[in-house]
Amino acid sequence: MALQASPFPNGCVAGAHAVGWALILPCFWFLDRLIAVCKSTTLERTQRQEQECYLHPLKVFFGSIAFFVLFLLTTPLAFLGFLLWAPLQACRRPFYYHRERPASLEMETHRGFELTGKASFGFASANLCLLPDSLARFNNLGDSQRRAALIGERIVQGVCRPHIRIFIDSPSSCGTLSPSNSMLPTSSSTYGATDRQAPTPGHESHRSAPRALLSQGLREQDDVPWEVSSLFPANVDILCLEEVFDKRAAQKLTNVLKPVFGHILYDVGLYACQPPCGCNSFKFFNSGLFVASRFPVLEAEYHCFPNSRGEDALAAKGLLCTKLLIGHNQKQKKVVGFFNCTHLHAPEGEGKIRCDQLNMVTKWIGDFQAVHKRQEEEVAFDVLCGDFNFDNCSPDDTLEQNHSLFTEYRDPCRAGPRKEKPWVIGTLLKQPTLYDESVNTPEGLQRALEREDLRRQYICPPVPAAGLPLVYPENGQPWIGRRIDYLLYRESSVSTRTEIEEVTFITHLAGLTDHIPVGLRLNITMDSGSNE
């Protein structure tokens, strides 16, 4: 049975919640604009210098006064709305579930198992920093609503391409090429940074001078095919997004993505004061998690981390576990998949908190699967992804790097604790350089990531241990930088043989977020015993 769409038990409660939020929203919006008008991104400062705009100080002065007055005037209404809104959170289920009705049921399931016992599944994960506009500006990112719409359009543009590999018969060939880098067009426009318009979803234009084919596409090293792609991978089946905190941005993303991903979980998390009602229990923001799937969601369960501290305690960060209906195998047994996503504690130097959260993640996933795994079902995949907020190269993250989670789930990019595979690329960008001309387009960022000297310039370096100098990289090792966005998979809990088809570092969201999205495609083969 599919999940209920509304997080509220009935329409009366949902209506009361809507009224409460409508009373709060004007005050919240005016406060957001009050802060935003005083905080500019580097892109906006550059544009003002180019336009010789001398009116900005007046805009800040009078805008601050106007928004502050409006904030004060709407505060009494917001207080009344809060008195109505806050108690209703106790009966709110921690997510919305949007289901787009398909033209046929076959569109929602994967028929490869039924015919051959084999299938391929694509996953992608991206941190979007879709906070309220004023807070996003502290990460050098503004205009969250416009960014949300553009991000959705770019994702659709990428994932709706045909999944084609081009084989080159040449002694110097890398093997296979991805059309995302060679034959298909890419968008050269950047959020607010160029006057050229991005192609709309489904529309393609021809690149005037594609780069040398043999330097492009999939490269294979350590038995893992990988690439840096200027487009989202084609035919992504399940998409996990982090930091989609803003409700309006989440709705914009849902509207753009729903024709492609018919099953979407958004506004995931808790609000207001939650048991046991401690000093860190009041949540102003949800978890920021957002999951879009081509497959129906059979079960979903959310857990909030109870040990958050500081500014992280204002958001309901946690773990979302889902069970998806994939299809049927050759014996007509139901095939399902488990997809889990999380966003861990952010501040540096607090690895103990993150380790405790990883312990919770491991336990909660185990509990969820123990309850919802059925003996008569076959499990195709068990994936864990998200923004872990630690990397595999920083001395400051030693505790997390040695966590037992990595003995259960396989990280395709990891050779061991404190040792990345040589082809890996960091996923956390330096915020002050997001709009540099060299990296403010998908193609420009792609070129920069492929060069080690430029990666040093645009990717965040490792974090040293307290009081100790940083020596990085070690002699003979490549400069990788901080990779804090993960896509992991587990083989011990599934009924299939799993092989990695490709790992992708995605530059399609250049200028729209301070993270590099990552992709993973797995080839799945049912064990012979399952099909006989």
Closest CA to 95 of 402, 303, 340: 303
Sign of the alpha-carbon torsion through 32, 34, 39, 40: positive
Three-state DSSP class for 196? Answer: coil
CA neighbours closer than 13 Å in the CB half-sphere of residue 494: 25
Q: How far is it, in rounded angstroms, from Cα 508 to Cα 41?
A: 21
Element (H, E) at 228: strand 224-229
The answer to whether 479 and 423 have CB atoms below 8 angstroms apart is no
Taken as a whole, the chain contains a residue count of 532
Q: How far is it, in rounded angstroms, from Cα 528 to Cα 177?
A: 32
Q: How far is it, in rounded angstroms, from Cα 503 to Cα 489?
A: 12
Q: What pairs with residue 282 in β-bridges?
A: 273
Active site residue 328: no
Three-state DSSP class for 229? Answer: strand
| Joined tokens for residue 300 | 């979903």
Sign of the alpha-carbon torsion through 323, 328, 329, 334: positive
Please pick, among 17, 263, 303, 515, the residue that the annotation labels catalytic. 515
Q: Which long-range contacts (CB under 8 A, 24 or more apart) does 98-102 make?
A: 98/5, 98/254, 98/258, 98/263, 98/264, 98/265, 98/266, 99/2, 99/3, 99/5, 99/262, 99/263, 99/296, 100/258, 100/259, 100/262, 100/263, 101/262, 102/262
Q: How far from the centroid of its chain's Cα atoms is residue 346's Cα?
A: 15
Cα 312 to Cα 37, 79, 117, 228, 346: the distances in Å are: 24, 24, 44, 31, 7
Angle at 524 between CA 520 and CA 529, to 5 degrees: 155
Closest CA to 505 of 440, 445, 422, 419: 445
Residue showing tokens 């059925």: 374
Could you give the residue numbers annotated as active site?
A: 515
